[in-house]
């Protein structure tokens, strides 16, 4: 089954304790992205990757890191989490990572979400 998986699904942690949220896709998609969802703000992009070893900042990258060492995995790293990073996080993947109108036409596939609480 084609899917995007995230782990953990739920996480409660304390300020300053480094954490990693994993994301994996089995569709051989070039493009992957991380979003956070907050009430009244919709989804905002944190980081994206157009291919292995190619990552770039989205709209709200502060306090986050990512890496793309393999095509299927795109972990989100919070080096020193703070309470304002309490949110619902979604990983997504998409066929076709590069620029150009054809690649922009593809839809994204989302993981089930990770609810993070930082106290």
CA dist 29 → 13, 33, 40, 60, 115 (Å)? 31, 11, 30, 23, 24
Nearer to other proteins, 46 or 118 (CB): 46
How many CA atoms lie within 13 Å of 77's alpha carbon, on the beta-carbon side? 8
* CA 75 centroid distance within chain: 7
108 contacts other proteins (rule: CB under 8 A):
yes
Nearer to other proteins, 81 or 111 (CB): 111
Candidate residues 15, 28, 59, 83; the one interacting with other proteins per rule CB under 8 A: 59
Nearer to other proteins, 42 or 119 (CB): 42
Binding mask 13-52 for other proteins (x = CB under 8 A): --------------------x-x----xxxxxx--x-x--
**Who contacts 29 (Cβ-Cβ below 8 Å, separation ≥6)?**
71, 93, 94, 95, 97, 109
Q: Name the 3-class secondary structure at 84.
A: helix
> Which residues sit at the interface with other proteins, rule CB under 8 A?
4, 33, 35, 40-45, 48, 50, 56, 58-59, 90, 92, 98-101, 104-105, 107-113
């Amino acid at each position: 089954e084609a899917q995007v998986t995230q782990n953990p699904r739920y996480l409660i942690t304390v300020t300053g304790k480094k954490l990693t949220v994993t994301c994996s896709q089995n569709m051989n998609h070039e493009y992957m992205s991380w979003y956070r969802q907050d009430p009244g703000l919709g989804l905002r992009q944190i980081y994206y990757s157009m291919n292995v070893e190619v990552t770039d900042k989205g709209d709200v990258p502060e306090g986050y890191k990512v890496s793309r060492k393999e095509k299927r995995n795109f972990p989100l790293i919070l080096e020193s989490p703070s309470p304002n990073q309490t949110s619902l996080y979604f990983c997504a993947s998409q066929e076709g990572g590069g620029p150009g109108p054809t690649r922009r036409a593809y839809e994204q596939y989302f993981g089930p979400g990770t609810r993070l609480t930082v106290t």
